[in-house]
Amino acid sequence: MTASGAEAVRRRDAARTRQRLLDAALKRFAHDGYAATTVRDITDDVGVNVALVNRYFQSKEGLFEACLAAAVEELRRVAGNAPLSDAIRHIITATGEDRITDVLLLLLRTSGDENAERMRVGLLRSASEDLASVAGWRPEDPQGEALMLRAQLVLALAVGVATLRVSTELRPLATAGDEELAGPLREVVDTLLPRS
Amino acid sequence: MTASGAEAVRRRDAARTRQRLLDAALKRFAHDGYAATTVRDITDDVGVNVALVNRYFQSKEGLFEACLAAAVEELRRVAGNAPLSDAIRHIITATGEDRITDVLLLLLRTSGDENAERMRVGLLRSASEDLASVAGWRPEDPQGEALMLRAQLVLALAVGVATLRVSTELRPLATAGDEELAGPLREVVDTLLPRS
DNA sequence: GACGTAAGTCAACGGCTATTTACATCCCTT
DNA sequence: AAGGGATGTAAATAGCCGTTGACTTACGTC
């Protein structure tokens, strides 16, 4: 019992290393894509042996799916707690270092696996429905399709901004701070989803 | 001299097969990314032997760079001939089948090679400058940075739309026609770049 | 404090990849 | 029409990838 302060840092903690693998994988997959990421990249980031990926996640594919599942949870948590109009701005103006950016980028990465693909598109759909509901969209509305299209354009903008900020050094976009981005982005969001 | 109509179709034509490799590679790289694309995928698409990639382009990296060079030329040609305000709409509302979409997606794909990376960012910069100049941007304008940021947001939207349309089946965005997209997109472009 | 199990490592494997080398075939020139 | 360079093929190689099974080591339990 080495408990001094809060949590004793065990040198062997399955749940903790599993989580660290998940975090490292999410970042790698989001930044570099599935195929370009090797399991050794991920385990080297964490500092553990390669075999642990297969122990905890069965396969590289399984690890990818686990990342998507974590992304679902995280995005739902962010969109649920904050006022939605704030959530939009938060999602859109997140800096390149932000976790939300990684989650967004993960939505664009494909592994070829069917199951993962279904999760991925489901997550995108859920995100765009959350956005559309800000502007008054309701599932049964027969005229809701145009509104949904506009919500998905907002999502497309967020996705595009995240992509360009992370995968290029295109200035001023890549280095702009929230205060510079917020103005134009709000104009666009207001244009597409008026009553947010 | 088998010249009957236009061009005699020789069974061995280096320039032609080189071009076919380039076309197939551009599509593959744009859709699947660099790492996920194997040179065998590309040569199988064309129906030739794998070794030809190395013969005509030295390496897989060389082929990727050649694709970027082709994209530079093509984007410049499109942006140059048409009125620029039309070019914007054309770029943005291009369907998933369109070549411009592939070119746009290629701008987001990285191979890890430094040289290719420089070409890629240069192409993005050039594209955003073309867009910004529509709204009156001039290279020396000290206040031009805000305008450039807005132009790059338009580019980000185009990039996001292209990505979502190609790599997901998110409806209605993925299946929307030009006539449905044109309206909202024009609103956004007018908001970001007023005088186009 | 020994013991058993959980946690992590090590080393090896089969398969796939890009690349190269040597060889076959076509097509133009003279 | 015959040679020769250009065009394409076939096969082999070296390296990296994901995955696996046998092992070592730490840790909670009796």
What is the Cα–Cα distance from B69 to B75, expressed in whole angstroms? Answer: 10
CA A43 to C1' D22, in angstroms, rounded, equals 21
CB-closest option in B156, B173, B176 to A160: B156
Chain B residues whose CB is inside 8 A of the A32 CB are: 35
What is the Cα–Cα distance from A110 to B47, expressed in whole angstroms? Answer: 26
Residues 49-68 of B with CB under 7 A from strand C: 50-51, 53-54, 58-61
Contact B164 A159 (CB under 8 A): yes
Name which of A153, A169, A180, A189 to mutate to probe chain B: the one with the most chain B Cβ atoms within 10 A of its Cβ.
Answer: A153
The ranges of chain B with pLDDT < 70 are 1-9, 79-97, 195-196
Q: Is A195 helix (H, G, I), strand (E, B) or coil?
A: coil
**How many helices and strands, by DSSP H and E, does chain A display?**
9, 0
What is the Cα–Cα distance from A192 to A132, expressed in whole angstroms? Answer: 10
Q: Is B173 helix (H, G, I), strand (E, B) or coil?
A: coil
Q: List chain C nucleotides near protein: any atom < 7 Å from a Cβ.
A: 6-12, 16-22, 26-28
Smallest CA-to-CA distance from A184 within B89, B147, B93 is with B147
Look at residue B133 in the predicted model and tell me its pLDDT. 82
Look at residue B95 in the predicted model and tell me its pLDDT. 58
What is the Cα–Cα distance from A50 to A42, expressed in whole angstroms? Answer: 8
The ranges of chain A with pLDDT < 70 are 1-9, 79-97, 195-196
What is the Cα–Cα distance from B165 to A22, expressed in whole angstroms? Answer: 28
Nucleotide with smallest C1' distance to residue A10 CA: D27
The reply to whether A163 touches chain B by the CB within 8 Å rule is yes
Tens digit of each residue's pLDDT (9 = 90 or more) over B20-33: 999 999 999 999 99
Look at residue A36 in the predicted model and tell me its pLDDT. 98
Tens digit of each residue's pLDDT (9 = 90 or more) over B83-101: 555 656 666 666 556 888 8
- Whether omega before B172 lies within 30 degrees of 0, making that bond cis, reads yes
Q: In whole angstroms, how far apart are CA A73 and each of A62, A78, B79?
A: 17, 9, 42
Q: What's the pTM value of the predicted model, to 2 decimals?
A: 0.91
User: Can you read off the two tokens belonging to residue A121?
Assistant: 């598109």
Interface size A-B, in CB pairs within 8 Å, comes to 130
Q: Is the CB of A67 under 7 A from strand C?
A: no
Q: Is the CB of A55 under 7 A from strand C?
A: yes
Q: Which long-range contacts link A65-69 to residues 24+ away (Cβ below 8 Å)?
A: A65/A113, A65/A115, A65/A116, A65/A119, A66/A22, A66/A25, A67/A22, A67/A25, A67/A26, A67/A29, A67/A106, A68/A106, A68/A116, A68/A119, A68/A120, A68/A123, A69/A119
Contact A170 B33 (CB under 8 A): no
Residue nearest to nucleotide C17 (CA to C1'): B38
What is the Cα–Cα distance from A120 to A113, expressed in whole angstroms? Answer: 11
Smallest CA-to-CA distance from A33 within A119, A127, A112, A121 is with A112
CB-closest option in B150, B163, B169 to A108: B163
Q: Give the orientation angle of helix A14-32 with respect to helix A144-167, to 10 degrees.
A: 100
Contact A192 B187 (CB under 8 A): yes
Strands (E), chain A: none
State in Å, rounded, how far the first CA of chain A is from the last one.
Answer: 53
Nucleotide with smallest C1' distance to residue B18 CA: D7
- Whether omega before A194 lies within 30 degrees of 0, making that bond cis, reads no
CB-closest option in B161, B173, B188 to A192: B188
Tens digit of each residue's pLDDT (9 = 90 or more) over A136-183: 888 888 888 999 999 999 999 989 998 998 888 898 999 888 888 888
Look at residue B6 in the predicted model and tell me its pLDDT. 46
Contact A157 B152 (CB under 8 A): no
Look at residue B77 in the predicted model and tell me its pLDDT. 80
User: Can you read off the two tokens belonging to residue B79?
Assistant: 């942006």
